[in-house]
Amino acid sequence: MTKTPAAGIPARIERPTTKPVRPHFSSGPCAKPPGWAPERLATGSLGRSHRSKLGKSRLAYAIDLTREILRVPAGHRIAIVPASDTGAVEMAMWSLLGARPVTVAAWESFGEGWVTDAVKQLKIDPTVLRAPYGELPDLAAIDQDHDVLFTWNGTTSGVRVPDGWINDDRGGLTFADSTSAVFAMDLPWDKLDVVTYSWQKVLGGEGGHGVLILGPRAVERLESYTPAWPLPKIFRMTKGGKLIEGLFAGETINTPSMLAVEDYIFALEWAKQLGGLGALVARSNANAAALDAIVAERDWLDHLAADPATRSTTSVCLKFADAAVAGLDDAGKLALVKKIAALLEAEDAAYDIAGYRDAPPGLRIWCGATVDTADIAALGPWLDWAWGEAHAA
């Protein structure tokens, strides 16, 4: 479909009559699974020690369900760790990097955070590959004899890496920050040595906890390499040169919220009943397709990620079409974003859809599996309404 170029002040339209049933489009914490309610959570572990037989069994059950839903190979270890995805990434970086040269690829704000850690904190002089928001760096230029750190799906840019770019015979370890990719994209576990995420993204869990998944090559590195820098207690995964296996069986390093664990278990059981990973991917793809249709029909709206082949199907980032905001600088565009987001929130039509603070001014709409496609479709007319109202205000 060819869009008609936008020009002039948009006309105001009548307030739509149909709203999204669940207007939760935040990119984290994300929408709860359909049918979620606090009274549906198991409560037997609440008020109990996480080191009790019951507590450890629930943590182990969460790990087992994670393995089943994500199809994680038996040789990979899964741990629940503190401090969300950030904690999981930094736990891996501090514990594993420094044994060989490192490349960090960054094309959005979280990737830039890992660059800062590698350059200014660990001071390991990494090779850094960058690309602007909405684009990818040249992945073919990465020396895969290096350890390679990257985000599988750029939560703040709406760009994801393509399948098939990682070599089977790589010499280094691959570190994939996958927090807005897991449970919505089929990850190639045989090519990923370290995977991290936080469950408040695609499964709509509560914040504060991360998940760290280590492949056999990462475990071998842990047991054969000692970093040159001190490791905080919450980063330590070995003792006497051997992996602390209990960590990967539910014996967490620090005290987890058992309420958050039960909430995660609810989401995992919902995913299993739905049909597992394939069903989750299908829901996310359908949501992204519905949003694509909305963008295609509007002359004032475009994708930030121009290439559909590497466009996110979860954290979909949108920008204003150039012709629609001609003459506006970034400050003017940001003011427009804030007006649109505030108007929609006041109408309970869409929550938390302003783009990330460090990204180019625009909208960001979560299309992960816990969102219903009908709610994405219902959002379209409300975007038009808010666009007109924002110019009239």
Q: For residue range 308-334, list pLDDT tens digits in order.
A: 999 999 999 999 999 999 999 999 999
Residues 267 and 312 in one domain: no
The percentage of residues in the chain with a pLDDT greater than 90, rounded to a whole number, is: 97
Residues 155 and 199 in one domain: yes
Residues 280 and 266 in one domain: no
- Of 239, 273, 307, which marks where a domain is finished? 273
In a domain, 13, yes or no: no
**CATH at 307:** 3.90.1150.10
Report the alpha-carbon distance of residue 212 to residue 89 in Å, rounded.
8
- Of 273, 303, 327, which marks where a domain is finished? 273
- Angle, alpha carbons 313-310-81 (nearest 5°): 60
Half-sphere exposure at residue 255, Cβ-oriented, CA atoms within 13 angstroms: 7
Of 9-18, 53-62, 209-218, the least confident: 9-18
CA Rg value for the chain: 22
Residues 255 and 284 in one domain: no
In a domain, 5, yes or no: no
In a domain, 369, yes or no: yes
Residues 267 and 216 in one domain: yes
Report the alpha-carbon distance of residue 270 to residue 282 in Å, rounded.
15
Is it true that the peptide bond before 82 is cis, omega within 30 degrees of 0? no
DSSP state of 24: B
**CATH at 115:** 3.40.640.10
Residues 212 and 90 in one domain: yes
Across residues 228-239, what is the average pLDDT? 96
pLDDT number for residue 6: 52
Residues 55 and 166 in one domain: yes
In a domain, 30, yes or no: no
Given a cut of 60, whether residue 21 has pLDDT beyond it is yes
Given a cut of 50, whether residue 1 has pLDDT beyond it is no
Instruction: Write the CA distances from 337 to 8, 63, 236, integer angstroms.
Output: 18, 39, 43
Across residues 45-57, what is the average pLDDT? 97
Q: Which helix (H) or strand (E) holds 334?
A: helix 330-346
Across residues 129-156, what is the average pLDDT? 98
For the whole model, what pTM was predicted? Answer: 0.97
Residues 371 and 250 in one domain: no
pLDDT number for residue 383: 98
Q: Are 147 and 192 in contact (CB under 8 A)?
A: no
Residues 83 and 59 in one domain: yes
User: How does residue 53 score in pLDDT terms, banded at 50, 70 and 90?
Assistant: very high
Across residues 338-354, what is the average pLDDT? 98
In a domain, 10, yes or no: no
Residue 196 or residue 393, greater confidence: 196
Closest CA to 271 of 353, 368, 374, 348: 368
- Of 273, 300, 318, which marks where a domain is finished? 273
Across residues 253-282, what is the average pLDDT? 98
Number of domains in the chain: 2
User: How does residue 5 score in pLDDT terms, banded at 50, 70 and 90?
Assistant: very low
Residues 195 and 232 in one domain: yes
In a domain, 227, yes or no: yes
Residues 336 and 381 in one domain: yes
Given a cut of 80, whether residue 393 has pLDDT beyond it is no
The tens digit of pLDDT for each residue in 86-113 reads 999 999 999 999 999 999 999 999 999 9
Across residues 60-66, what is the average pLDDT? 98
pLDDT number for residue 3: 58
pLDDT number for residue 7: 53
In a domain, 7, yes or no: no
Residues 111 and 153 in one domain: yes
In a domain, 316, yes or no: yes
Residue-number span of the structural domain to which 129 is assigned: 41-273
Given a cut of 50, whether residue 79 has pLDDT beyond it is yes
User: How does residue 11 score in pLDDT terms, banded at 50, 70 and 90?
Assistant: confident
User: How does residue 4 score in pLDDT terms, banded at 50, 70 and 90?
Assistant: very low
The percentage of residues in the chain with a pLDDT greater than 70, rounded to a whole number, is: 98
